[in-house]
């Protein structure tokens, strides 16, 4: 379901400095009535939990948080088992492939083809072709790199290569979308990093998505990006 909200002001609380800010918003926003939880392997720790705990987490999302969707990541058997249980709980499933290291583009494409087939078989609702792939995939050469090291200097390893050759990234996303349409019949999107947003071929996707976090470095541009997402 989609609707429109006429919002005048957004009140945001910053817990780290115990400060509340009011951000003016004199625009009409398009919103989608999906309330979900990003249940990710690292931040939510589900790869360390027994399956009974994971099932309990999904039940609490639905019954206590009143969520109707869950976002999942990974490639292994545990991911697909969680997908099955989430569907049984009546949650929409949004899912994307993710591996621990930064792998070359051709390896990611091979993984992605299998991911699309499995997502189709299990009835995933929204296929995300990836997450912040200018960071998580090595498009410069065929080396496998450390994710932690790459994150330690985003300007050198991610932002600069993206500025120097933006079409390489755009073409890679377009290729993934092409593959997804071949193997997956549902909705398709991409979880863009805020630095990638303008390079994603959104016209080829069904949903505009961005990992836009509100914190000190983005507070002055946060709403501008949200409004650009209203395509």
pLDDT digits (tens, 9 = 90+) for 115-128: 999 999 999 999 99
Residue 16: per-residue pLDDT: 43
Token pair listed for 54:
């994971």
Residue 101: per-residue pLDDT: 92
DSSP string of 97-129, one letter each residue: ---SSBEEHHHHHHHHHHHHHHHHHHT-SEEEE
Domain extents in the chain? 97-218
What is Dmax (Cα atoms) for the chain? Answer: 49
pLDDT band at 112 (very low <50, low <70, confident <90, very high): very high
Please state, in angstroms and rounded to a whole number, the distance separating the CA atoms of residues 46 and 79. 9
Residue 27: per-residue pLDDT: 44
pLDDT digits (tens, 9 = 90+) for 57-93: 999 999 999 999 999 999 999 999 999 999 999 999 9
């Amino acid at each position: 379901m989609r609707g429109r909200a006429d919002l005048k002001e957004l009140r945001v609380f910053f817990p780290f400095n115990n400060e509340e800010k009011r951000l003016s918003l004199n625009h009409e926003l398009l919103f989608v009535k999906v309330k979900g939880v990003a249940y990710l392997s690292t931040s939510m720790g589900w790869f360390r939990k027994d399956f009974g705990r994971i099932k309990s987490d999904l039940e609490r999302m639905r019954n206590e948080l009143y969520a109707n969707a869950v976002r999942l990541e990974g490639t292994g058997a545990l991911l697909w088992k969680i997908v099955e249980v989430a569907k049984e709980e009546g949650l929409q499933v949004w899912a994307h492939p993710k591996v621990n290291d930064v792998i070359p583009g051709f390896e990611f494409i091979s993984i992605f083809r299998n991911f699309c087939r499995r997502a189709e078989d299990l009835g995933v609702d929204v296929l995300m072709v990836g997450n912040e792939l200018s960071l998580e995939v090595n498009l410069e050469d065929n080396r496998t790199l450390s994710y932690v090291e790459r994150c330690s200097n985003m300007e050198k390893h991610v932002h600069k290569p993206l500025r120097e050759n933006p079409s390489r990234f755009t073409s890679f996303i377009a290729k993934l979308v092409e593959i997804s349409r071949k193997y997956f019949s549902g909705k398709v999107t991409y979880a863009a990093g805020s630095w990638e947003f303008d390079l994603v071929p959104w016209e080829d996707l069904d949903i505009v998505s961005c990992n836009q976090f509100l914190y000190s470095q983005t507070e002055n541009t946060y709403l501008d990006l949200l409004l650009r997402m209203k395509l």
